[in-house]
Structure 1
């Protein structure tokens, strides 16, 4: 079984049930399954075969869902790419990923022009209508234009009866390129078995059923959305409420209009919803569950959100290399604020020291993971694969601890650890204290060079109170933190840098500091 065959089975059982709603458009499971088969068949007519690589440069839309499942149905490998990346960033992924075809919005045409000469192996550009003013193609070279097909024509040329080849669970289904904070992005190869096991296990663990209506506003090209808010609901007949881009006002309206039952977001989204002046608890009263992931959620934010909107927030943990989910707070036991929860079914997590030995409860070490969700390796990077996977265990690079009851806690990223005079300072601990201040909206903490102590703690904050002063916040920190953990300086910013999923980019702040020296 794989996610595309499961979709077909669901369509046979629940054919008339809505699979998704999108900007006034509704598709049933039968319609979605037929579109997936037609797109897969249309790709075959273009010469795309099992094992070929197809990149998706798409935002949240039915185009993404149909392209993803269609390519997987014919056995192609899908490479989702953030469409707002620069030409150089996209070009690297398309070249490194040996891409044969690209599916993207019509707004992609100028980008394709710029990259065309460097990417001769791309045989087809499949263009989706964006609804924006048409891009002028008169200046594009004839060779490029000959490679362009419309998404509509590819879909129309296919057969709804197309079944596709036999797929093995170890066949590569998706290659997800990591953010590349320490160098060039690495392509994590996820198999059909990886994707299916994690989608089913997450769906069962969170009790996502056919009655659920899941707000899908996280970027579909990101693994968090891909599994939790797209694949998992479709496995059990749930309905996707597809939102093109996150907007607090729109989330409240969609939750109210469609009586949404599940919302998945990153902590920044929850912060925006909490701060939205017109947000009301009544708008979210249909939600039975809110899911947070992608970054650690400050405890103060979690508790304030739950208090205001009277809905439970369950924090989880995952990474691209694990498809991604390894932990979630259980629904049948208490939710522990600040915890990423317990190992989901079929997945093992443990905390180890530098020798790979499991450490006692509440001792900090590196989190490692094992299960059917763990990637087969990095594409064309055997050395990096060997460094990440040892004896079947995936080394996450995250520092964590586990309590006596089996609840895991992320302490911080290994590479974000700040060493002040030989003492370990975990940025998240300092951030939690600052988040508890009533006037703070957002926080990021980094380590900066210090001539006396090696490193010092520096904080960046966004405040809702213009007159708030650095001295006041430092005194506040002194009340709650050991002296060596207190920030040596605090910068006030209008906003913090974030990636497309809303995750705050500590490294970007650190790089900016180095550039100004």
Structure 2
């Protein structure tokens, strides 16, 4: 069994049920499955088959869902790429990933076309027609006069609705996800059909996703959090995706009420925007049975504030690209613990180890490692990096964590983000939790900066609602709640914290800003 065969099963079981709703138009499981088969067949006729690599340069849309499942059905390997990446970033991934075809929106063709001379292996550009492209007067034939250009609708029209595709082995690579990385070039995590299918099924079972669920899919589909939790997992059990092209608090509130959404998945910054929105109220999200948070640690103050305002439980979980991605979630049948990423989900083991790889006692901090059918095959064309990351079947996450006596895990911080002040370990999240509890602070991030006396010092960036708030007031507040060595030595007020497209705070950008200002 794999994602595409399971989708076909869902289509047979729920043919007339909406598989997704996009821009207030519903498409059924039967329609989605037929489109997937036709697209896969069209790719086959184009000469794209098993083992070929296809890049998806797409945002949230039915095009992404059909392209993903259609390419997987023909046996190709998908490489999702953030559409707002620069030309250098896109061309690196395309070349490093040995991409044969790119699927993109017509409105992005003016950006893609100049890159073609340096993307030597690309044989086909498949463009998806959009209202935005039409409004902008995009003429694909005028942009590229090569035979490389094919329209998405043309590919589907050439295909067969009854296409069955080649036999897929569970160890075949289904998706290569390029991780952003902290240094050097991105690494391509190879996820197999077994990795993705097992994680989607285990997540669906753990979160009790069923055919009655309607999931707001606003996280970026090219990101693994959305890919598994808000796209694949609901489709495995006949759920309905409510697809939003981008995150907007107003649209989340609107579609939640209009379609009686039952599940929302987001990153902490999304929850912060929803909480801070002046027009948001409890009735807007009254139909939700569950909110899911991941991608970054959620400050406890934010979690409690959101739950109190909207009267809905937020289940925080944990994952990483190399694990397809989910390894832990707060359970639905036991107490949820604020600040915890929960317990290991079905079929997956998490444990905390010291630098020698030995498991540490409950309560002690160490590195979180993971084992299960979800763990990647390795990094594409990087055997040494793979060997350093997967040892004895365990994936070393690089995250510092602790486990309590009941098996609940807590992410302390990234190993690389820990600040060493005069020999003492300072975990940025601990300081950030204190800052988030300040009534006038809505966002905070902590980094380490060079210090001539202690090696490193703690610096904090904060976003506030009070223009009169001073650095001294914030520092005094920290002194009251933190040990001296954990207290920031400086506070910098900024209008907005830098974030990537998934809403994760970019500490690297803050470190660069701090370095520049020294």
- Residue 120 of structure 1 deviates from its aligned partner by 2.2
Conserved in 2, the CA contact under 8 Å of 1:281 and 1:308? yes
- Residue 169 of structure 1 deviates from its aligned partner by 0.4
Alpha-carbon distance between aligned partners in 1 of 2:173 and 2:139, rounded to the nearest angstrom: 37
- Residue 20 of structure 1 deviates from its aligned partner by 0.3
Q: CA deviation digits over 1:104-157, x for unaligned, max 9?
A: 0112212222211111210100001121123255764533xx211111111111
Instruction: Look up the match of 1:89.
Output: 89
Alpha-carbon distance between aligned partners in 2 of 1:20 and 1:419, rounded to the nearest angstrom: 48
Instruction: Look up the match of 1:126.
Output: 126
Instruction: Look up the match of 2:71.
Output: 71
- Residue 516 of structure 1 deviates from its aligned partner by 3.4
Instruction: Look up the match of 1:515.
Output: 516
Change (3 A) 1:141 1:265: closer
Change (3 A) 1:513 1:136: farther
- Equivalences for 1:271-420 in 2 at 5 Å? 271-420=272-421
Alpha-carbon distance between aligned partners in 2 of 1:286 and 1:514, rounded to the nearest angstrom: 47
Q: CA deviation digits over 1:214-272, x for unaligned, max 9?
A: 00000000000000000000000000000000000110011000000000000000000
1:135 aligns to 2:138 (yes or no): yes
Alpha-carbon distance between aligned partners in 1 of 2:138 and 2:85, rounded to the nearest angstrom: 19
Instruction: Look up the match of 1:446.
Output: 447
Q: Which runs of 5+ in 2 are unaligned?
A: none
Instruction: Look up the match of 2:172.
Output: 171
| CA root-mean-square deviation | 0.9
Q: CA deviation digits over 1:290-349, x for unaligned, max 9?
A: 000000000000000001110000000000000000000000000000000000010000
Q: CA deviation digits over 1:346-375, x for unaligned, max 9?
A: 000000000000000000000000000000
Conserved in 1, the CA contact under 8 Å of 2:106 and 2:140? no
Conserved in 1, the CA contact under 8 Å of 2:419 and 2:428? yes
Conserved in 1, the CA contact under 8 Å of 2:216 and 2:242? yes
- Residue 180 of structure 1 deviates from its aligned partner by 2.2
TM-score norm. by structure 2 comes to: 0.98
Counterpart secondary structure, 2:10: helix
- Equivalences for 1:9-88 in 2 at 5 Å? 9-88=9-88
Alpha-carbon distance between aligned partners in 1 of 2:165 and 2:486, rounded to the nearest angstrom: 58
Change (3 A) 1:510 1:47: same
Conserved in 1, the CA contact under 8 Å of 2:371 and 2:394? yes
Alpha-carbon distance between aligned partners in 2 of 1:272 and 1:116, rounded to the nearest angstrom: 38
Alpha-carbon distance between aligned partners in 1 of 2:179 and 2:130, rounded to the nearest angstrom: 27
TM-score norm. by structure 1 comes to: 0.99
Q: CA deviation digits over 1:27-57, x for unaligned, max 9?
A: 1000000000000000011100101000000
Counterpart secondary structure, 2:256: helix
Conserved in 2, the CA contact under 8 Å of 1:100 and 1:121? yes
Conserved in 2, the CA contact under 8 Å of 1:448 and 1:457? yes
- Residue 181 of structure 1 deviates from its aligned partner by 1.8
Counterpart secondary structure, 1:142: coil
Counterpart secondary structure, 2:434: helix
Q: Which runs of 5+ in 1 are unaligned?
A: none
Instruction: Look up the match of 1:5.
Output: 5
Alpha-carbon distance between aligned partners in 1 of 2:315 and 2:18, rounded to the nearest angstrom: 26
Alpha-carbon distance between aligned partners in 2 of 1:141 and 1:404, rounded to the nearest angstrom: 62
Alpha-carbon distance between aligned partners in 1 of 2:130 and 2:338, rounded to the nearest angstrom: 41
Alpha-carbon distance between aligned partners in 1 of 2:338 and 2:2, rounded to the nearest angstrom: 34
Conserved in 2, the CA contact under 8 Å of 1:368 and 1:396? yes
